[in-house]
């Protein structure tokens, strides 16, 4: 063992015996100092160090063992690096004793080295781009850079400019130089709207994500944020503050001509000079996974305020009668006798409804058969409610009780906080307060 370079494998090969385990036991017994183990920590070499070692191996400036010892690895690891960097088909290094004309061409090896360095740099750049896309843009690590917008590409390039040349970054992300400088200038300009953007996002979320640019502009004006409607519209588009759209689905309560119908006194004139002149009513249906819910409101034509409402799981007489009783209580003290306009549904022809109307000395009015525009203002309220509160949300895990509470909360917000452009960008409650009318 000592004569064969202190190598167990060489010793066994030269002698033909004993086994590795037996020889190790003998060494431990006779020369324990020769088998002392050194425990260290593996440290990965930098790619540049590996490339230098492979270049030295291929140039044969020294033997493979000397090169491996200088780097601190085995000869096998050194050749493994060569195969990884140059491929298995690369020309094998020639022995120093052979003719110098058979050695690899130095220029070719240097060219291969430069190619490897460029590939390593390109891969590192791709990695950095993906990492920055995840950090800055919250994109998945496997995102295709070609699917990014020019604005997002500009953000990536700006983030990596301290590390890489601008030309290299623009080429890698596929962004023209002119587009980069354009979006960079636009981003600087957008900074002056930073406070406005934060206010817009807060208004949008606080108001059921239903405000378009007109009501958004009015809300910003109330907060002393002065920008034009066109800028508001552009910023909302850029920030994806998009109001929900409608999905038409109507509930029908027509049961035939079960009693004489009164005349259509409104005749599609939904204007009123004072509160409690004209009331509109109807029933709308909500379908959620937990079941069906029905809403029956009374709408005042003066300012669109919801005078009273009832919410239940059955579209029966109790639903509409409860709503009517609450509305009558609002006008008992004032002595107002509004016109109550409805469609030709059976709820408004039942004895309970007719007796309540007569006792309160209210005036009945009905739409023509199958003519929804005759009650368009009430239908419009249902449309706004469903666009702003219902269609834009997921009700999968919502119970009936939770949904009823959500509808009730929306109607209260509608009366007290939701601004209407037709009321001077004020809510119905605020509008009446400005006029000195008790809401």
The per-residue pLDDT for range 94-149, each reduced to its tens digit, is 444 444 444 557 788 888 888 888 888 888 888 888 887 777 766 665 666 667 78
> Which structure tokens are listed for 399?
């119970």
The confidence band for 48, taking pLDDT boundaries of 50, 70 and 90, is confident
User: Do both 162 and 26 map to the same domain?
Assistant: no
Task: Tell me the sheet residues that pair with 317.
Answer: none
DSSP letter for each residue of 344-398: SBGGGTSHHHHHHHHHTT-EEEEPPTT-GGGGHHHHHHHHHHIIIIITTS--TT-
User: Do both 229 and 324 map to the same domain?
Assistant: no
Residues sharing a CB contact under 8 Å with residue 428, sequence separation 6 or more, in sequence order: 300, 303, 304, 305, 414, 415, 420, 439
User: Do both 371 and 339 map to the same domain?
Assistant: yes
Nearest partner of 236 among 216, 218, 220, 219, judged by Cα: 216
**Average pLDDT value for residue range 229-253:** 74
The answer as to whether 292 is a domain residue is yes
User: Do both 304 and 428 map to the same domain?
Assistant: yes
Q: What is the pLDDT of residues 270-321, one digit of tens each?
A: 999 999 999 999 999 999 999 999 999 999 999 999 999 999 999 888 999 9
**Average pLDDT value for residue range 370-385:** 88
User: Do both 427 and 290 map to the same domain?
Assistant: yes
Q: How many domains does the chain have?
A: 4
Task: Tell me the sheet residues that pair with 340.
Answer: 279, 364
User: Do both 136 and 213 map to the same domain?
Assistant: no
The H-or-E segment that residue 236 falls in is: helix 229-238
The confidence band for 338, taking pLDDT boundaries of 50, 70 and 90, is very high
Task: Give how far the C-alpha of residue 433 lies from the chain's centroid of Cα atoms, to the nearest Å.
Answer: 39
The overall pTM is greater than 0.85? no
User: Do both 166 and 229 map to the same domain?
Assistant: no
User: Do both 316 and 361 map to the same domain?
Assistant: yes
- Structural domain of 216: 190-238
Cα(first)–Cα(last) distance of the chain, in Å? 105
Report, in this order, helix, strand and coil percent for the chain, each rounded to 5: 55, 10, 35
The answer as to whether 73 is a domain residue is no
**Higher confidence at residue 132 or residue 212?**
212
User: Do both 299 and 421 map to the same domain?
Assistant: yes
Q: For position 241, what pLDDT does the model report?
A: 85
**Residue 322, SS3 per DSSP:** helix
User: Do both 203 and 351 map to the same domain?
Assistant: no
The answer as to whether 254 is a domain residue is no
Q: For position 103, what pLDDT does the model report?
A: 52
d(CA 253, CA 316): 10
**Long-range contacts of residues 97-106, Cβ cutoff 8 Å, at least 24 apart:** 103/59, 103/60, 104/58, 104/59, 106/59
The answer as to whether 309 is a domain residue is yes
The answer as to whether 337 is a domain residue is yes
CATH number at residue 373: 3.30.420.10
User: Do both 354 and 229 map to the same domain?
Assistant: no
The answer as to whether 363 is a domain residue is yes
**Average pLDDT value for residue range 37-42:** 42
d(CA 34, CA 8): 11
Domain end marker among 124, 150, 175: 175
User: Do both 311 and 427 map to the same domain?
Assistant: yes
Phi, psi of 311 (to 5 degrees): -130, 130
pLDDT at 169 over 50: yes
The confidence band for 37, taking pLDDT boundaries of 50, 70 and 90, is very low
Nearest partner of 275 among 353, 354, 342, 330, judged by Cα: 330
The answer as to whether 296 is a domain residue is yes
């Amino acid at each position: 063992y000592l004569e064969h370079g202190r190598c167990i494998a060489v010793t066994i090969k030269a002698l033909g015996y004993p086994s590795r385990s037996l020889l190790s036991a003998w060494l431990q017994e006779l020369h324990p100092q020769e088998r002392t183990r050194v425990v260290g920590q593996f440290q990965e070499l930098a790619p540049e160090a590996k490339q230098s070692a492979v270049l030295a191996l291929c140039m044969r400036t020294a033997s493979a063992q000397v090169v491996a010892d200088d780097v601190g690895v085995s000869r096998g690891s050194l050749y493994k690096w060569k195969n990884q960097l140059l491929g298995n088909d690369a020309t094998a290094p020639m022995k120093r004793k052979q003719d110098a004309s058979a050695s690899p061409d130095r220029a070719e090896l240097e060219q291969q080295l430069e190619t490897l360095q460029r590939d390593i740099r390109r891969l590192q750049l791709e990695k950095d781009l993906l990492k920055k896309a995840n950090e800055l843009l919250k994109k998945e690590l496997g995102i295709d850079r070609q699917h990014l917008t020019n604005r997002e590409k500009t953000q990536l390039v700006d983030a990596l400019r301290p590390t890489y040349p601008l030309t290299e970054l623009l080429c890698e992300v596929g962004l023209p130089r002119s587009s980069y400088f354009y979006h960079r200038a636009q981003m600087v300009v957008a900074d002056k709207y930073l406070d406005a953007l934060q206010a817009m996002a807060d208004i949008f979320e606080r108001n059921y994500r239903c405000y378009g640019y007109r009501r958004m502009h009015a809300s910003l004006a109330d907060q002393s944020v002065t920008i034009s409607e066109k800028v508001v519209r552009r910023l909302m588009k850029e920030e994806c503050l998009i109001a929900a759209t409608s999905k038409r689905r109507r509930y029908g309560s027509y049961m035939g001509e079960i009693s004489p119908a009164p005349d259509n006194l409104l005749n599609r004139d939904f204007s009123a000079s004072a509160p409690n002149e004209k009331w509109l009513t109807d029933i709308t249906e909500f379908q959620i996974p937990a079941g069906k819910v029905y809403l029956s409101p009374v709408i005042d034509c003066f300012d669109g305020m919801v005078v009273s409402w009832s919410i239940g799981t059955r579209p029966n007489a109790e639903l509409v009668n409860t709503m009517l009783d609450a509305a009558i209580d609002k006008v008992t003290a004032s002595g107002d006798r509004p016109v109550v306009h409805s469609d030709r549904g059976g709820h408004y022809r039942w004895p309970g409804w007719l007796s309540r109307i007569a006792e309160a000395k209210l005036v009945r009015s009905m739409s023509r058969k199958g003519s929804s525009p005759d009650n368009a203002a009430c239908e419009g309220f249902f449309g706004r409610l469903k666009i702003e509160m219902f269609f834009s949300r997921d009700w999968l895990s919502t119970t009936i009780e939770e949904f009823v509470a959500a509808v009730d909360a929306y109607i209260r917000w509608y009366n007290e906080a939701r601004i209407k452009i037709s009321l001077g960008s004020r809510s119905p409650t605020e509008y009446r307060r400005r006029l000195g009318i008790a809401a």
